[in-house]
Structure 1
């Protein structure tokens, strides 16, 4: 379990290249500056940025093979977690960031441009308006309850899609709210950041009832 900012940074550094670390440092600086203008993250978490946001996002790559070719679909990217972090850590993967709020869209576009994230595409619209494509990975952090999330994103899934859904303390409870036919697809993994938090992990195509 990660303990403190130094530990969190070392955790992330071990999972990416020196170039990626430089970009993550730049992201942290840009985020701290922008957070004075708009509430991207809670002010109280600025002092634990590496733990609460960067390492919390970075831990998701442990659930995906390096051979995965993408694309990675991140729902409700907001301040860029986990989507921007994934795009920085894995520049060989196409990453689509879905965000509908105007100022957040502008923020994501600015960071993508300034950090030269050529693999990062900002989908500045509601998920319902994003065109269909097959996603290798679907992630979401505080996007919507599980049932609603799956209803909205099922069309992007295939039999090989990996679902990575940080759900905090409600992870196990949210899995239990799913219909039985979907519940067996998912399980909860312990977060490496917070002993009380869980990540809902799944694999496969979500088939919606007609």
Structure 2
């Protein structure tokens, strides 16, 4: 099965109406991915057996997303799953932080061509981005990277009481020092991705330091 046919079938399985905005924009994203991938290696392959788990992950994760508010994604890469979450939740605003210029160019092009209003791409390292920011976000996510302790602690300053920290991870937490994560954050829940063995989404809130 080729990728466009596979995605069409997947959207049918997810009961996304064929005439919906999502059913239109997700294939448009796939078209862009297939066009850009030979030049900048966004994914290992654009064969459907490689892409299916990535699209599935976004559809699965969207079940736990609040759909509105503000979202910060760190190390956004090809946009899995953050850019797809934006397609599935158009009301939210999202900041995508990615340090690799070629992948930033892809994200910017995708956001523009898919008309994803409220999407901002920041081509910089997280520390440099936070140096210039005073905002807080409702959701902060990262995947395919191990968050450095200094960055994890700085992110606490950009959270409010209800901010959700989304960590996609395997057997081990995706942070430099799990002890610090356990000391400074409390896990609200963990979801197990059914399409991949030992792959999880853990959602955390900030622990408030005692007065």
Q: TM-score range by the shorter chain?
A: 0.7 to 0.9
The question of 1:53 aligning with 2:58 is answered no
1:19-98 equivalent positions in 2, closer than 5 A: 19-43=21-45, 46-66=47-67, 69-98=68-97
Q: Which runs of 5+ in 1 are unaligned?
A: none
The answer on 1:100 being equivalent to 2:102 is: no
CA distance, structure 2, for counterparts of residue 179 and residue 128 of structure 1: 18
SS at match of 2:137: coil
C-alpha change, 1:173 and 1:121, in structure 2 (3 Å) is closer
Q: How many residues are treated as equivalent by the alignment?
A: 202
Change over 3 Å in CA distance of 1:13–1:148 after alignment to 2: farther
Secondary structure of 1:122's partner?
A: strand
Which sits farther off after the overlay, 70-79 or 189-198? Answer: 189-198
2:165 to 163, 167, 171: 163
8 Å contact from structure 2 (residues 75, 99) kept in 1: yes
Segments of 5+ residues of structure 2 without an aligned counterpart are: 1-5
Matched, 1:110 2:109: yes
Change (3 A) 1:174 1:168: farther
What CA distance in whole angstroms lies between the structure 2 residues aligned with 1:162 and 1:75? 14
Larger strand proportion, structure 1 or 2?
2
TM-score normalised by L of structure 1: 0.81
CA 1:206–1:124: 2 relative to 1, 3 Å: farther
Residue among 190, 193, 200 paired with 1:191: 193
Relative to structure 1, the CA distance from residue 180 to residue 76 in structure 2 (aligned partners, 3 Å threshold; closer, same or farther) is: closer
Counterpart for residue 202 of structure 2: 200
Deviates more, 1:55-64 or 1:92-101: 55-64
Contact 2:69–2:138 (8 Å) recurs in 1:
yes
**Over the residues paired in the alignment, what is the CA RMSD in angstroms?**
3.1
Out of 137, 140, 160, the position equivalent to 1:138 is 140
Structure 1 CA distance, aligned partners of 2:142 and 2:157? 15
- The answer (yes or no) to whether the contact 2:53–2:195 under 8 Å persists in 1 is yes
Alpha-carbon deviation of 1:162? 1.0
2:184 alignment partner, one of 182, 185, 189:
182
* TM-score, normalised with respect to structure 2: 0.80
